[in-house]
Amino acid sequence: MRVFPLTVTALAAALALTACDSGGSGSSSKNSSACEIGKVSVQVGSASVAPAAGDTGEVPVSLTNQSAPCTLDGFAGVALKAGGTSASLSSLSGAKNQKLKLAKGDSATFSISYVRGKDGDAASLAATSMEVSLPGSDATQSFPWKYGAVAGNGSATKPNATVGAFQQAGD
């Protein structure tokens, strides 16, 4: 009878995966099935650039799995960098995370929304690059930030910018 051994194996695998997840967010709680930079291609798409200070812009980021099936469970990590300053972005208020499983060749997208700041203003972050990481992995990839200064929420180290939830792309 083959059903029983497969059911027991599936149950054991599910319990093993559940036991491995401590629910924390440190380097000791890596998810082995999490999508990783280096195993997915990441591209920053054509942005809807904020033309002037106070305007809002959108920067789409897409990724395509180039390896074994993996999972996106959480929000992308994005940090804007300017010289020696690094400012992490928070997730979009009210955005709901959806767990996405990507087979080889599958794609997903997320967007970065930002408010354009005044060039030279001490409360704006004159970002020159952004660093992207995926949930469950510490690996990062840097991209140029060519969309102007980002307005700060009281200071340049608290940029008025957010990261949206992953969305399945393609078919």
Task: List, for residues 18-48, the tens digit of each pLDDT value.
Answer: 333 333 333 334 556 999 999 999 999 888 9
> 112-131, pLDDT tens digit by residue?
999 999 999 999 999 999 99
Give the residue, 28 or 70, on which the prediction is more confident: 70
Please name each of the domains of the chain with its CATH number. Answer: 30-169 (2.60.40)
E strands, 45-160, are 56-65, 70-72, 77-82, 85-88, 90-91, 100-102, 107-115, 124-125, 129-133, 140-144, 150-151
